[in-house]
Each structure stands twice: as C-alpha cells, then as structure tokens.
C-alpha cells in the first residue's frame, strides 16, 4: 500500500493545482502529463524489459490518427478506446519483427519502423491521413481548459497500469529479461511472450497519449506525431528521470518541460544565441550527455541507490554495535 501513498499525494496535489495556478502553468503541466504518461509507457519496454525502443512515436501516431479517423463515426469515448486498441494491435506485428533483434539492432529496427510509418502517412496513405496538409482531430472535451483534466487522467491511468504491472510478477520477469535474456529463458520465463505483452500494454497507453496530444493540437501532420522528435523526447525524459524506476519518467518530464520552457523564454532576448527553441534543444542534448556520463541510473535511480546504500549502511552499523 505504501507505494500508492506517495502517488495519491501527488494526484491530490495535481487536482488542487489548477485552482491556484494560471493558464500558462496549466499548459506546461498538460505536456508534463502527456509525455510523463507516454514515458511511463515507454519505461515498461525500455526501462523494465531493457528493450530501448527509439521509435515509440509509431504508436503515438497510430493512436492519434486512429482517433482522428474513427471518432467522427463512433463518438469520443469509444474513439479513444478504439485508438488505444488499434495501437495495441499494431504492436503485435511491430513487436514480432523488432523483437527478433536484440540490443542496438532492436533500437535501429524501431527507428526504421517509425520512419517508415512517417513516410507512408505522408505519401502512400494520403487518402486517409491528408498527408502534410494536416488532418482535423475532433475535440475530446468542449472547453479547451479541460484538457488539463484529460491529460491528468491519462497520466494517472498510465501510472496505475504501469506500476501495477512493474511491481507484479510480470515486472520481475521483464527485469530478468533486461539483466540477461538467455538466462531468463533458461529459468522458464517465456521471454518473447512477455516482451510482446509489455509492448502491447505500452502501445495501448502510448496510443491514448497520442490521442490527447493530437486532440489538443486540433490538427496533425504525420511529422507532428510520427517524427523522431517525439520518439527522442520520450526516451530522453525516461532516461533523465531514471529508466526502470516507478517515478522516473514523471520526474524526467517535469524537469525537461520546465527547463525547456524556461530556456525558451529566458534566452529569447539574447540575440547572439539565435533561435531560442534550438538553444533549448541544445541544452536538452547536453543534459542527456551529462546524465549518461555521470548518472546513468537517472535522477530517481541515483537517489534510490544512494538511499538504499544509506539504509544498508545503517543496518550494518546497528548490527555491528549489537
């Protein structure tokens, strides 16, 4: 029960926040929830199972486009569920192809799949997606202010499902796969099945994240949802916060969104820096390099390790004094 206690506190805080902050922070928090939620979904595959997918935008985009195409016929609620399901179903063939590869080859294959979908959605599937002209996405809620609640709901859903899975037997199987896939298989973990299971759940949540993102934008082009920027952002924030930790992606999203927003606004007046947007992304890249070099376990992971060490040290000291 203890693990849900902190989560409930954060949830209550997030419910109360919009009553004391202004629209500006609500918008930032919206993106934190969306990308934090998708980061949590990525964490299941990339963090716990150790399969670094660099093309998660493919599920994000499939969800977004399915919703945009289905919702006018089915209504909003059913549209969201269907979009998540389509995205989850698409994970089966994608996982079947990519999981036959390991390590960096898997990562490369996921990039190729996402790029392939990006090109297909721009050109070959133009009939449905309208290509680069952009496709209108129906609103999820009438009042744009309420997107905050939709995103918060999505983040809570993602957190619930992912935490549930990660702290159950499945989570331990996934971690076993991450540490050593062959050994995991030897001790009768059905590794292909569990990897696919993690990917399907992850794709379902990522797809719904794509729906909320796209609905808030109002109209989408293939590059908005299938582009490498989305894939990279999701991976980076999970790594920054701590891959394979429960709160990592949320912490990562919080830091990255606020940092990039602060950078964009504060350096906008400095003309020698050029494009402030580019500067924000430059610092973003620098942050990744520094995190990988100096704390590869991420912020939450490093703190957790330090905490554990202190606790162990304390126990050792107590037992020695006895």
Partner 1 sequence: MFLQTIVDGIMLGGLYAIIGMGLAVVFGTMRIINFAHGQFVMVGMYISYACFQFLHIDPYLSIGISFVISFLLGILVFRLTLKPILHAPEMNHILLTAGLGLMLTNLSQMVFNTNQLTVNLPYGHHTIHFLHVEVNQAYLLSFIIAGFVALFLFLFMLKTETGRSIRAISQNSSSSALMGIPVNRITTLVFGLGIAIAGVAGTLLLPVHYVDPSVGDSFSLLAFIIVVLGGMGSIFGAGIGGILIGLIWSLSSFYLGGSYGDVLTYIMFLLVLLLKPSGLFGRSRV
Which helix (H) or strand (E) segment holds residue 22: the answer is none
Cβ distance to partner 1 smaller for residue 74 or 115: 115
Assigned token pair, 294:
């100096």
Using the rule CB under 8 A, is 52 a contact of partner 1? yes
Q: In the chain, which ranges are E strands?
A: 135-136, 219-220
Cβ distance to partner 1 smaller for residue 124 or 190: 124
Which residues sit opposite 219 in a β-bridge? 136
Contact of 154 with 34, CB cutoff 8 Å: yes
- Contact region for partner 1 (CB under 8 A) — 1-9, 20-28, 119-127, 158-166? 119-127
Using the rule CB under 8 A, is 278 a contact of partner 1? yes
Select from 288, 295, 302, 304 the one that contacts partner 1 (CB under 8 A): 288
d(CA 114, CA 202): 15
| Unique residue bearing structure tokens 């993102």 | 213
Using the rule CB under 8 A, is 105 a contact of partner 1? yes
Closest distance of CB 298 from partner 1, Å: 11
Which of 135, 122, 133, 147 minimizes the C-alpha distance to 219? 135
Residues touching partner 1, count (CB under 8 A): 43
d(CA 213, CA 31): 8
Using the rule CB under 8 A, is 259 a contact of partner 1? no
Q: What is the CA radius of gyration of the chain?
A: 20
Using the rule CB under 8 A, is 100 a contact of partner 1? yes
CB atoms within 10 A of CB 226: 31
Using the rule CB under 8 A, is 284 a contact of partner 1? yes
Using the rule CB under 8 A, is 232 a contact of partner 1? yes
Cβ distance to partner 1 smaller for residue 21 or 266: 266
Q: Can you spell out the DSSP letters for 136-150?
A: E---SSSSGGGHHHH
Cβ distance to partner 1 smaller for residue 112 or 157: 112
Binding site for partner 1 (CB under 8 A): 50, 52, 54, 97, 100-101, 103-105, 107-109, 111-113, 115-116, 119-120, 122-124, 228, 232, 235-236, 239, 273-275, 278-279, 281-282, 284-289, 292-293, 296
């Amino acid at each position: 029960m203890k693990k849900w206690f902190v989560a409930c506190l954060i949830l209550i805080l997030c419910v109360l926040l919009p009553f004391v902050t202004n629209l500006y922070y609500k918008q930032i928090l919206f993106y934190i929830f969306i990308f934090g939620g998708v980061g949590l979904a990525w964490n299941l595959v990339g963090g716990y199972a150790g399969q670094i997918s660099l093309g998660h935008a493919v599920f994000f985009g499939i969800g977004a486009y399915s919703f945009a195409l289905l919702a006018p016929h089915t209504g909003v609620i059913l549209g969201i569920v269907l979009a998540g399901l389509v995205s989850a179903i698409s994970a089966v063939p994608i996982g079947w192809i990519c999981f036959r590869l390991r390590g960096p080859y898997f990562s490369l294959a996921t990039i190729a799949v996402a790029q392939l979908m990006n090109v297909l959605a721009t050109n070959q599937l133009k009939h449905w997606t309208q290509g680069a002209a952009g496709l209108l996405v129906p609103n999820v809620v009438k009042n744009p202010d309420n997107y905050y609640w939709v995103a918060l709901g999505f983040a809570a859903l993602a957190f619930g499902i992912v935490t549930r899975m990660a702290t159950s037997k499945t989570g331990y199987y996934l971690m076993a796969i991450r540490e050593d896939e062959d050994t995991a298989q030897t001790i009768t973990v059905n590794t292909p099945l569990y990897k696919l299971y993690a990917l399907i759940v992850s794709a379902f949540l990522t797809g719904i994240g794509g729906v909320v993102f796209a609905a808030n934008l109002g109209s989408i082009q293939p590059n908005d949802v299938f582009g490498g920027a989305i894939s990279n952002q999701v991976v980076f924030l999970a790594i920054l916060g701590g891959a394979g930790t429960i709160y990592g992606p949320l912490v990562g999203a919080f830091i990255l969104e606020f940092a990039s927003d602060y950078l964009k606004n504060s350096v906008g007046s400095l003309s020698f820096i050029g494009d402030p947007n580019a500067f924000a992304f430059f610092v973003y890249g620098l942050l990744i390099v520094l995190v990988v070099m100096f704390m590869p376990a991420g912020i939450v992971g490093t703190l957790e390790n330090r905490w554990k060490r202190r606790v162990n040290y304390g126990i050792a000291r107590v037992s020695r004094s006895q």
